Structure 1
Amino acid sequence: MVMMSLDRLVGSLKSKLRSLKPKRPDYDKIEKSESMRVEIRSRKARKLIEETLKVADSPKSKSYAF
């Protein structure tokens, strides 16, 4: 009997807390333009090059011939 009332109390507290959370506004999804896609690809490429150079310049790393 006590467990059922405790479960009910916890459930009601959870629902009250959920209702107190601020609602996030709904935004329209922005379609990516071609220039945005190019910029994203170039950032990823720069990051990959940077990581590769960091590993290659590290004295502890083993370099592999491809």
Structure 2
Amino acid sequence: MANQLENLVESIKSKVRSLKSKSKSKKPYVKMDKSASIKVEIRSRQARKLIDKTLKVADHPGKRTIS
């Protein structure tokens, strides 16, 4: 019984060691670059914000900025 328990403990230890060594070698994730379509989407959102801001200023010709 004690021998079986020792074998079980040793096998668990070896499995844990192998898992630790694998996790160190791999990165948890791969960072991806933005695709062309995402870049276009970001630029179009920025352009839309600028257009909206410009239209708000145009609606109030006596003021230069809107707070």
TM range (shorter): 0.3 to 0.5
Structure 1 length as normaliser, TM-score?
0.47
Q: Which one has the largest radius of gyration?
A: 2
Structure 2 length as normaliser, TM-score?
0.46
